[in-house]
Structure 1
Amino acid sequence: MGAGVQSTALLLLAARGRLDSLDGAIFADTKWEPETVYRHLDRLEREVAQPAGIPIHRVSAGDIRADALNPKKRFASMPLHILNPDGKPGMMRRQCTSEYKIKPIKRQVRHLLGFPHPTRVPKGICVEQWIGISIDEFHRAKDSDVRYITNRHPLIDLGWTRDDCLTYLRELGFESTPKSACLGCPYHGNAQWRKIRDESPQEWEDVVAFDTAIRSGNARANAAGNPLLGQAFLHRSRLPLSEAPIDRLSAREWAERQPPLPETAEEVLEAGVEDGCSPWSCRSDAPVPSDYDQAA
């Protein structure tokens, strides 16, 4: 339960009976999610999960931000963008998903089964784990790497895309569902960085400060005398976040900002009258070319 678009749609589908009921949902908290995610999760628990009898288990492997800056703490590296001494770009290995998301989820699954680590889960005992992956990202769907978990991807089974999930959420009043990701995730695109900067000044200040603090890599490595040879950055431009070109729009974003072209008369006829045929909303002014007025 990442509390993003797809996992929120899964929870709603189960709670409303369109999918099988769930025994529980697990939210792995890195302690550095946007405040909008925590508010959304609270709302889901209050309005959806509890009425449906679905407990939400909140688990954590620690505070990913604090761990990165703590010289006494082992830190699972984030995929930071690296500028090497020779000027060539690089990227650090991503360990954070495994350490702060997957491992605490597996630990909770074992706890729910009644076989916490290091107790061995007996052969034949297994849970079905639903993962919110839609068909437009089916390449992410993988089998479990442990025998006590069988992965299932109900959105793929339904043939749903992310847009289908968004439509469903809007229908149920959850159109404000946020993107679930750590505040300082190096995989953010410019749109996400702008959203943080423009809508949450305190969180923006937080990620800018973190970006500055990790310039030489994680604190424990530096304290051990193994500093990063290059420089680390949150933004793919490998510039300080406060200076990065986050106002640069992608081609898709630019296209979405353009006003729609006016419909031609033929398109109006093909699509039908937008407002329907009502005595109070007759579209008598709809363009009708004379060619279409002639009887066959």
Structure 2
Amino acid sequence: MLALSAEGILPKVDYAIFADTGWEPNAVYSHLDRLEQEVAKPAGIPILRVTSGNIRNDALDPDHRFASMPLYILNQDGKAGMTRRQCTGEYKIKPIKKQVRELLGYPYPARIPRDVFVEQWVGISTDEFHRAKDADVKYMRNRHPLIDMGWSRKDCIRYLSSLGLADTPKSSCLGCPFHGNAQWRNIRDNSPAEWADVVEFDAAIRKGNARANATGNRLLGEAFLHRSRIPLSEAPIDHVTAAEWAALQQELGAEEDAEQLEEGVTDGCSPWTCRGEIAATQDDFGLAT
């Protein structure tokens, strides 16, 4: 959408906002820098980088409130579970709303007049049209230009390729539990330092978040980044085993296939398209029941 606006195919936007969780892959930050220099600045479009902090550091800090990630849980009775997802709201939607309020001239807790609002573009393609929803606040009105243009994911990739941006990486936390095996392999095989980072984090959260542990409320079971509920350093990320296939079918339903296990969640964790349909079976990453 930024490129379409910069080229004049879509109207020129006033701003582009990137919500930084503090734990994106290096490739994402490099790509953002390139977009800023080669696309946004020449078109006079400021890219605003907003943040609520570093999600990795916050998770391991006992003095910080932790917004739960959607972690895979192995309960003490052997049953599988999953924690609720709060991270997208805390680290992406919240700082974007804060920035929008400031741009409108009404920082929280100021009341925003009914007739003051922004038109917010959300990059949902026709493949995910069911995710196109209105904003939950009156001062933000969502528009979905890609759907208006009838563009699918393939159309977007074709367009990016024509601009020399075919290598656009998926934006999501380095240690996002929604990664597929292909993403985990890519980190392991192409970025040893980042792989060591996520393996270390996976081990660190095994018994729950640091704050919960510090107050004596340890997780009643074990938490994992990988769907197999095996330590990431040992997880079967090179192929789908028979047991993993059976577990996937039971967890997601017979209509799903192995594509999600391999490729991960299609839209990653962009603020308004992060997968949220999975029902949590633990209230909190540190306070399981």
Q: TM-score normalised by the shorter chain: which range applies? A: 0.7 to 0.9
Q: Which residue of 1 aligns with 2:15?
A: 24
SS at match of 2:142: strand
Q: Which residue of 1 aligns with 2:39?
A: 48
Post-superposition shift, 1:110? 0.3
Correspondent of 1:193 among 178, 184, 187: 184
Aligned counterparts of 2:131 and 2:44: Cα–Cα separation in 1: 29
Post-superposition shift, 1:138? 1.2
Correspondent of 1:227 among 214, 218, 227: 218
Query: What do the CA deviations read for 1:190-222 (whole angstroms, capped 9, x no partner)?
Result: 011001101111000000000000000100011
Q: Which residue of 2 aligns with 1:288?
A: none
Q: Structure 2 length as normaliser, TM-score?
A: 0.83
Aligned counterparts of 2:210 and 2:231: Cα–Cα separation in 1: 18
Post-superposition shift, 1:225? 1.0
Q: Which residue of 2 aligns with 1:65?
A: 56
Query: What do the CA deviations read for 1:16-35 (whole angstroms, capped 9, x no partner)?
Result: 00001100011010010000
Post-superposition shift, 1:139? 1.6
Aligned counterparts of 1:63 and 1:252: Cα–Cα separation in 2: 30
Q: 1:59 is matched by which residue type in structure 2?
A: V
Q: Structure 1 length as normaliser, TM-score?
A: 0.81
Matched, 1:91 2:79: no
Q: 1:47 is matched by which residue type in structure 2?
A: E
Correspondent of 2:231 among 230, 240, 243: 240
Identity %: 70
Correspondent of 1:123 among 93, 110, 114: 114
Aligned counterparts of 1:217 and 1:25: Cα–Cα separation in 2: 35
Post-superposition shift, 1:141? 1.2
Aligned counterparts of 1:67 and 1:105: Cα–Cα separation in 2: 19
User: Relative contact order: is structure 1 or structure 2 higher (C-alpha 8 Å, sep ≥ 6)?
Assistant: 2
Post-superposition shift, 1:252? 5.7
Counting only pairs closer than 5 Å after superposition, residues 1-296 of structure 1 correspond to structure 2 as 10-248=1-239
SS at match of 1:83: strand
Aligned counterparts of 1:85 and 1:79: Cα–Cα separation in 2: 18
Aligned CA distance change for structure 1 residues 103 and 82 (closer, same or farther; 3 Å): same
Post-superposition shift, 1:251? 5.8
Aligned counterparts of 1:114 and 1:189: Cα–Cα separation in 2: 41
Aligned counterparts of 1:182 and 1:251: Cα–Cα separation in 2: 22
Aligned counterparts of 1:213 and 1:45: Cα–Cα separation in 2: 35
SS at match of 2:18: strand
Aligned counterparts of 1:122 and 1:154: Cα–Cα separation in 2: 26
Q: Which residue of 1 aligns with 2:271?
A: none
Post-superposition shift, 1:146? 0.3
Aligned residues: 244
Q: RMSD of the TM alignment (CA)?
A: 1.1
SS at match of 2:203: helix
Query: What do the CA deviations read for 1:85-119 (whole angstroms, capped 9, x no partner)?
Result: 01000000000000000000000000000101111
Aligned counterparts of 2:194 and 2:131: Cα–Cα separation in 1: 29
Runs of 4+ more than 6 Å apart:
none
Post-superposition shift, 1:123? 1.2
Aligned counterparts of 2:64 and 2:145: Cα–Cα separation in 1: 38
Question: Where in structure 1 are there 5+ consecutive unaligned residues?
Answer: 1-9, 254-296
Q: Which residue of 1 aligns with 2:252?
A: none
Aligned CA distance change for structure 1 residues 147 and 233 (closer, same or farther; 3 Å): same
